[in-house]
Amino acid sequence: MSLAEFIHSTVKNGKQITLLKNGFLKLGGTTDTNIYFVESGSLCVFVMDEDEEQIIRFGYNNDLIVSLDSFLTEQASDFYIQAIKKSKVRVIPKQQFIAFVNESNENQQMWISMLEDLVLQQIEREKDILTTSPKERYNRVLKRSPQLFQEIPNKYIANYLRMTPETLSRLKKS
């Protein structure tokens, strides 16, 4: 069974959660070992920096979203996962996912590939944050994830890019 087939069968039979706009899937300081498949809507993963949200990741249609540190360590995490708009997600419990991974060498290799992709995405994210030019940050993300700009409202993208919504608006116009 491929990862796509596993997710499809799990999603079809799994528990569905509907989140209203601004509803939380996970709160900071809690443990969450589930992986979630986004059927519809959009969500963001963020941490709190003093009293300000710092968005680090998005999930939208057909994405997997997870508090990866909590999933891996089974410990509390500082990450929040919140719906940007009304969203439906399917729950994939860790035990079920790990059982799938352990079924075959092919599944283990898919899991390793997923983790490698996440590491590479995180490296790209770190480059984005370290890039001082708002225009360069915008162009890097636009090139890497053009669908983001179709799925996510500008105020969230601006937060992700560490710029004001006005700066993002000017960059999109230019």
The answer to whether residue 1 scores a pLDDT higher than 70 is: no
- Whether 19 and 68 have beta carbons less than 8 Å apart is answered as no
Residue 51: inside a domain = yes
Calculate the average pLDDT of the chain: 91
**How many folded domains does the chain comprise?**
1
Supply the range of the domain harboring residue 73: 3-94
Residue 109: inside a domain = no
Phi and psi for 152 in degrees, rounded to 5? -115, 135
Residue 108: inside a domain = no
| pLDDT band per the 50, 70, 90 thresholds, residue 114 | confident
**Residue type at 104 in one-letter notation:** S
The answer to whether residue 103 scores a pLDDT higher than 80 is: yes
Residue 143: inside a domain = no
Least confident of 12-16, 157-161, 167-171: 12-16
Residue 70: inside a domain = yes
Residue matched to tokens 């249609």:
61
Return the structure tokens found at 30.
């809690």
The answer to whether residue 7 scores a pLDDT higher than 90 is: no
The answer to whether residue 31 scores a pLDDT higher than 90 is: yes
Query: Which own/partner pairs from 161-167 qualify as long-range (CB within 8 Å, at least 24 positions apart)?
Result: 161/128, 161/134, 161/137, 162/129, 162/137, 163/134, 163/137, 163/138, 167/134
Tell me what pLDDT residue 10 has. Answer: 67
Tell me what pLDDT residue 132 has. Answer: 77
What single string gives the DSSP state of each residue in 31-65? Answer: ----EEEEEEEEEEEEEEETTEEEEEEEEETT-EE
| pLDDT band per the 50, 70, 90 thresholds, residue 24 | very high
Residue 18: inside a domain = yes
Least confident of 20-34, 49-63, 74-88, 122-136: 122-136
- Whether 54 and 48 have beta carbons less than 8 Å apart is answered as yes
Residue 128, SS3 per DSSP? helix
Residue 122: inside a domain = no
CATH code, domain with 83: 2.60.120.10
Q: What is the pLDDT of residues 61-98, one digit of tens each?
A: 988 999 999 999 999 999 999 999 999 999 999 999 99
Tell me what pLDDT residue 4 has. Answer: 66
Residue 142: inside a domain = no
Tell me what pLDDT residue 83 has. Answer: 98
